[in-house]
Structure 1
Amino acid sequence: MSLHPQPVVTPDERERGLRLLVTEAAFSGGTAALTTGVILTAFALHLGATNVMVGVLASVPFLTQLLQLPAIGLIERWRRRKQIAVFTSLIGRAMLAVMAALAFFSGTLPLLIFLGAQVILCGLGAVGACAWNAWMRDLAPEDRMGAVFARRTMWLTGISLVLGLAAALALDVTPPGSFKRDLVFGGMFAAGCITGLISARVVAAMPEPLMPPATGPIHLRELLRQPLRDSNFSRLLIFVASWQFAINFATPFFTVFIVRQLHFNISFVMVLSVVSQIANILALRLWGTLSDRFANKSVLAVCAPAYILAIVGMIGASQFGDRNVVKLWLILLHLVMGATIAGVTLTSTNIALKLSPKGAATAYVATNAMVTAVAAGLAPILGGLLADFFAARQFELVARWSGPNGAFALPIVLTQWDFYFLIAGFIGIYAIHRLSLIEEHGEIEPREMMGQVLNETRRTIRNISSVAGLRGATDLPAALLRDARLRVRLRRAQQAKLMRRPTASSPDPR
C-alpha cells in the first residue's frame, strides 16, 4: 500500500477504489454518528459546559471551514491529496481518544481541553476534506459519479440512523451524572475514534490519480473578488449570510432548551434527531424532482419560510402544560424541519452552482462556502454570549376573551430560549426578503410551487396503496441510484442520436 499518487490507474484499481469508497462510508458515518451533533452537545453538557461554551463548540465546525482556503494552496504546492487526507484524518481523529478520556472528568480545564481537541479535529478535517473532494473528482468517473455517491449516501444514512437509535437507548438506561453515563460517553467517543482510524486505513488503500502539472500560482484574493462584482450572486450571498445566521442563532441550543428548560432526557433529543433524519431522507427526492422541473429559488421560497415557522413554533413547547402534548409538538416540528431543511440544503447549493458562470465556478462556490462558514460560525457564539442577558428577562402577553358565559385568558410567557426562536424568526423573514431579490431562470410563484408539492404528495400517497409504492416510499437511496443510472442512459442515447444525425454537408438521402 502506497500513499503516493499513481501516473496510471488501471480499470481494476479504479473499480476497487470505488468499492472502498462505499465501504469507507460505513466507518466515517459511524464516527460522525457517535461524536457529532446532538451527542457532542450532550457530552459538553455532561462535562458542565456553559451556554457560551455550547455556542463556541457549535461554531467550531463552521469557522474551521475557512482553512479550506489555505488548503487549496497546500494541495497545489504538494500535489499529494491522499497523503493530506490520510494524515489529517489520523491526527484529527486521534483527538477523539482524548475526548473519550475526558468523559470521567468535569470542570473548566477538561472543557478547555475538549474545545482544543474539537478545534484540531475540525480544522484538520476541513483541510483533509479539501484534498478529499479534489481527489474523488478525479477518481470517480463522471458517468458513474451519481450511482457511486448514492450508494455511499445510503451507507452514511443507514449507519447514522442505527447508531443514533443505539445511542438514544444507551443514554436512556443510564442516569445523568452517574458513572455509567461516563462510561457511555467514553465508549461512544472511543468507538468513534476506532472507526475513524479504520476509515483512514481504508482511504489509504484507495488509488490516487496523479494531478496534472500546475498551471501557475493561485491568487486567492483575485479569485474571491470575482463573485463580489456579480450583482445577482452578491444578492445570493446576502441571503446565504442572513439565512445561516438566523438558523444557527437558535438551532445549536435546541438540545439545551429541551434538556434544561423542558427537562427531557438526552435520549428523547436523540429520538427527535432520528425523526428529523427520516423526514429529511423521505423529502429529499421530492425537492430534487421539483428543483429539476422548475427552479431552486421556487423550492427555497416554500422550504425556507416553513423551516423558520418551525423554529418559531418551538416557543409553543414551553407554553403547553401537558408533557405528552409537548412531546408530540416537538416531534411534529422536527418532522417539518427535517423535511424542509432537505430542500433548503439541496437547492441553496444548486442555486450557487447555477448562478456561477462556466469556467469560474470554483471561485463562486468557494466564496459562498466562506460566507456560510462565517455567518454560521458567528451566530452561535453571539447566542451563547447573550444567554445570560435573556435568562434575566421575561415577556408576558395575555390574550383575554370575555362573554356572557364568562372569561377566558390565554397567557403567553417568553423566557430565555423563547427569545432566541423569536429573533431567529425575524432574521429569517429578512433572509426570505433577500431571497425574493435573486433572479433565477425558470422560477414560479410560491403558491404554484405549493400546488406542485401537494400534487407530488398526493401521487406518493396513492402509490403507497401498492407494493411498488411502498418500496418507492421507503427505499430512497435505491431510487436515487436508479435515477442516476437512467440519467446516464439518457445522456448516452442523446449522444448516439447526435452522432447519427446527418451534417449540413451530407447528401440528401432522398
Structure 2
Amino acid sequence: MLRSLIDLAPIYSKVLPISKGLGAIATSPETPPKPAGTLSKPEIRSSLWASTVDGIFASVFSGVTGGVLLTNFLLELGASSIEIGLLSSIPMLVNFLQPVGAYIADRTTSRHWYTLSIFSASRLLWLVLIVSIGFFSWHSGASHALVQQTLLMILLTHILGALGSPSWVSWMAALVPHRLRGRYFGLRNSAANFTHLLCVPLFGFLVASWHGGTIQGYGVALSLAVVAGIISLCFQFVMADVNPQVPTQWEKGRSKADATPEKGSLKTLGRDRNFLIFLLYWGGWMFAVNLSAPFFNLYLLQDLHLDVRWVTIYSSLTAGANLLMLLIWGKLADRIGNRPLLVLVGAMVAIAPLLWILTGRDSISIWCWLPALNLLGGATWAAIDLCGNNIQMEISPTQGSSIYFAIAAAISGLGGAIGTTAGGFFVEFAHSGGLPALFALSAGVRLLALVPLFFIQEPKSRPLNRLFA
C-alpha cells in the first residue's frame, strides 16, 4: 500500500565491500562528478526527466517483486499467515541498516556510482529465484522449501536495498529544487502509478492464464520485471551526478536563511526536538498501518476466495486513483504544506480498515464496495506517501541529511515490522474475530498515531487552526 519515493527508486541493492567499494566508487567515472552548485537548469531538467523514466520502469519491477502478485505466489505455495506477515515485515525490519548505508554513502564522492553499483547487482539477484521456480516447476520440488527460498531472497535484497536507499533519497533531494518538490514528485509518482495501473493486471492475467500453472507464470512475470528493473537503472546515466562532499545550490540558498545551518549528524539529530517528534509519529504510524495493511490482499484471496485477476484489477483501481490525485496533492502541498495534509488525509486513512469489515463475497461488494474502497485508498495514500517523504526533506538539515533519512527509515521499519509481525500472530493464534477484528484494532491505533503531528513544526506550513480561514 505504501508507495514512497524509495519505493519507486532502485529498491533492492548490493553494497560493495567497504575496503574496495569506496575506492571503486571514487574512481569509476571517467570524469569526476560536477559540484552540484554548478549544475545548470538544463542539467537539472534532464535529470528530473531521466528520474521520471527511471521511476516508470522501476514501477514495473516493484509491481512483480512485491504486492499482490508476490503474495499470491506464496499463497499458491501454501505459505501461512505468519509467513505472509514476514513478507511485509522483513523489508521494514532491515531498514535498521540504513544508517550504515548513509555513513558509507556520505563518504563517497559520487551519488551516481554508489547507487548504480549497489542497485544493479541487487536486481540481478532475483534471477536466483527465477532459477529456483524453474527447478520447482520441472522437477516437482518441495513447495515449502520454495517459500523459504523466496523469503530468504527478500531478506537479502532488502538488506542490500537498505544500504543504498539513503544515498538515493539524498541524491533526489539535491536535484529537486525546494519549491518544486510537491509538484515534481507528484508528477513522477503519477507516471509510475500509471505504469503500475497498466502492468499489474496484465501480469495478473499472465500468471493466472499461464499454461504451466500460476507458479511457473509468476516466474515468467518475474523474468520480465528484472529486465525492466535493469532498464530503469540505465536512465540514471542521464541524471547529473552529485558529490555529497559539496553543498548543492539549493542547500546553499537554504543555509543562508537557516538560523542554524548545522550539518546533519547523530549528535544534532539528538538535539533536534522537531525531528524527534516526527520520528515518534512516523514510527507509530508505520506500526498502526502495517498492523493490517499486509493482510488486505490475504483477506481478498483467502477469506473471500477471489481470483487473483480480480485482486489485480482492484490494485489497478488503487493505482489509477493514486495517479489522478498525486498532482493535485502535490500542488496543494506546495501551497499549504505537508503537515496539514498528513493530518486531514491521515484521519481518512485511519478509519478505512473499518469499512473493509463491511465487505463480503456478494455481488454488491465485488462490483461496488471493494472497487470504491480501493479508489479511496489510492486517492488518500497518494497524499500520505508524497507528504510523508517531502516533510522529511523540509525539516532535515541542509547538509548531511542522509543520516536523518536513514534514521527515519530505521524507525519506520522497526514500527512497521513490529506491526506486521503482531498482525500475523494475531490472525494466526488469536480467536477473537480474525482479520475483521484486526482491521478494527488497526483503525483505532492509526488515529492515536496521528497525535504527534499536531506538535511538528514545518517551515512555510499553514497552521491547522487557520487552514479553512
Relative to the length of structure 1, the TM-score reads: 0.71
Partner of 1:7: 32
1:110 aligns with 2:154: no
Q: Deviations over 1:106-161 (max 9, x none)?
A: 43322221111112222222323333344455667889988876765454233212
In structure 2, relative to structure 1, the CA distance for the partners of 1:83 and 1:388 (3 Å cut) is: same
1:384–1:208 CA distance, 2 compared to 1 (3 A): same
Q: Secondary structure of the equivalent of 2:419? A: helix
Q: Distance in 2 between matches of 1:317 and 1:374?
A: 31
Structure 1 residues 179 and 92, CA gap change in structure 2 (3 angstroms): same
Q: Deviations over 1:304-356 (max 9, x none)?
A: 121121112111114xx623334421111111121111222233333444444
In structure 2, what is the equivalent of residue 131 of structure 1?
Answer: 167
Query: Is structure 2 residue 469 aligned with structure 1 residue 444?
Result: no
SS state at 2:462 partner: coil
> Per-residue deviation at 1:233?
3.6
Change (3 A) 1:314 1:228: farther
On the 8 A contact 1:34/1:163 being kept in 2, the answer is: no
1:182 aligns with 2:237: no
Alignment of 1:476-491 (within 5 A): none
Task: Tell me the residue number matched to 1:411.
Answer: none
1:286 aligns with 2:306: no
The one-character-per-residue Cα deviations of 1:399-456 (angstroms, maximum 9, x if unpaired) are: xxxxxxxxxxxxxxxx3111110110121121133334445552234xx86x79xxxx
Query: Within 5 Å, which residues of 2 pair with 1:90-105?
Result: 90-103=120-133, 104=137, 105=141
- Aligned partners of 1:26 and 1:156 also within 8 Å: yes
2:202 to 166, 170, 173: 166
Q: How does 1:349-360 map to 2 (within 5 A)?
A: 349-356=389-396
SS in structure 2 at match of 1:442? coil
Distance in 2 of aligned mates of 1:168 and 1:112 = 23
Counting only pairs closer than 5 Å after superposition, residues 51-62 of structure 1 correspond to structure 2 as: 51-62=81-92
SS in structure 1 opposite 2:306?
coil
| RMSD of aligned alpha carbons | 3.4
Contact 1:226-1:364 within 8 A present in 2 as well? no
CA contact (8 A) 1:79 1:211 kept: yes
Deviations 1:249-286 (A, max 9, x none): 10101111111111111111111111111112222233
Q: Does 1:234 align with 2:264?
A: no
For 1:188 and 1:202, locate their aligned partners in 2 and report how far apart those are by CA, in whole Å.
22
Task: Read off the aligned partner of 2:76 and give its amino acid letter.
Answer: H
Instruction: Determine if the alignment matches structure 1 residue 84 to structure 2 residue 114.
Output: yes
2:24 aligns to what? none
2:64 to 10, 26, 34: 34
The sequence identity of aligned pairs, in percent, is 24
TM-superposition CA deviations, 1:203-248 (whole Å, max 9, x none)? 457664555479xxxxxxx923434444444333222222111111
SS in 2 for 1:317: coil
Q: 1:430 aligns with which of 440, 448, 452?
A: 448
Q: After TM superposition, give the deviation of residue 295 of structure 1 in Å.
A: 4.1
Distance 1:96 1:228 in 2: 38
Distance 1:59 1:236, change over 3 A: same
Contact 2:98 2:407 in 1 (8 A): no
What pairs up with 1:312-461 in 2 under 5 angstroms? 312-318=354-360, 322-356=362-396, 362-390=402-430, 393-394=431-432, 415-438=433-456, 442-445=462-465
Query: 1:194 is matched with which residue: 227, 231, 237?
Result: 227
The letter of the residue matching 2:85 is G
- Unpaired runs of 5+ residues, structure 1, are 215-221, 395-414, 453-510
Structure 2: where are the runs of 5+ without partners? 1-26, 248-263
Distance in 2 between the 1:293 and 1:14 partners?
A: 23
For each residue in 1:474-493, what CA deviation from the matched residue of structure 2 results, as whole angstroms up to 9, or x when unmatched?
xxxxxxxxxxxxxxxxxxxx
* 1:310 maps to 2:346: no
Normalising by the residue count of structure 2, what TM-score does the alignment of the two structures yield? 0.77
Tell me how far apart the structure 1 counterparts of residues 170 and 452 of structure 2 sit (CA, whole Å): 32
After superposition, the Cα gap between the structure-2 partners of 1:229 and 1:206, relative to the gap in structure 1 and judged at 3 Å, is: closer
Q: Is the 8 A contact 1:275 1:335 kept in 2?
A: yes
After TM superposition, give the deviation of residue 14 of structure 1 in Å: 7.9
Larger radius of gyration: 1
2:349 partner letter: Y
Letter in 1 for 2:129: M
What is the identity, as a one-letter code, of the residue corresponding to 1:301?
A: V
SS of 2:217's partner is helix
The 3 A distance-change label for structure 1 pair 336 and 213 is closer
